[in-house]
Structure 1
Amino acid sequence: MTVYQFDESNIRWHTIEGFDHLSYFIYEVDEINKGVDLLFKFSANQKIALHRHKANYRTLVVQGELRIYRPNGELKEIRPVGSYVATDAGGEPHTEGGGDQDVVVFFSNRNVADVIYEILDDDLQPIATFGLPEFKALLKAQST
């Protein structure tokens, strides 16, 4: 069977200062239906910031494997390419990252009440949040 690589040549990746090992490309911020659709790219063999999902979401791994870690660093789950997961808001705080290659994951955040992602410190205390206004601003900056 032929294995295909995800072609990201038409995607202009963006980063957020202070958030290592993470790139993004936003497709849509839907204020009426309260959703954000975007791609995240996590660096190979690295972890992004500790966080908690505060909105319902769907993920589809389109390249590589997504590794999910508990707050103590323990590997919780590996999602291979093609994995689709539908999850409600909440859940345990975690970090995520790529396997032996960068992982690209499509995220569809839905039914956003206020916050989509809550960024946490090592004591699991919120230090930053991202909601519709923040993603709207990132989308606007992305198109300049």
Structure 2
Amino acid sequence: MFSNTQPPQTAIVPGTLRRVHHIAFNVQDLQASRHFYGNILGLHELTGEEVPTTLRSLVASGKVSNFITPDSTVIDLFWEPELLPPDADPQRAFTRANHLAFDIAPELFDHAVEVLKQHQVNIDHGPVTRPTGRGLYFYDPDGFLIEIRCDPEE
């Protein structure tokens, strides 16, 4: 049984893990995913010297694209052209990951929802309103569930 006062010696010391470093997705259509993450979600695509040195050869060969969120989390898109769809029904869970959530200012939430609808993004459900805020769940081009969410307006 774990003690609330001290972590067991086999655990990583709390506070050691600082932040999410990156999230990597395998994608079947790299151009469609680049368009989705860059042009629809508005994330900055890393180019030139911005690309991590460990990925530059893969980016140069067209096998990887990298995007960065405003809080500096990197999203790596690895092109896997032979990637089979996880399931014909995108509502069935197909990985251990549930979804990726992006935070947005409450005053920008409705506009973001409209942008997704204008681009005919496949929306799973929402917008939903909860005590923790509002959210909308939708799919990227490879069927991975994504959420945009905001804190409640004050």
TM-score bucket of the superposed structures, by smaller chain: under 0.3
Q: Which has the larger radius of gyration?
A: 2
- TM-score, reference length from structure 2: 0.23
More helix, by proportion: 2
- TM-score, reference length from structure 1: 0.24
Highest relative contact order (Cα 8 Å, sep 6+), 1 or 2? Answer: 1
More strand, by proportion: 1
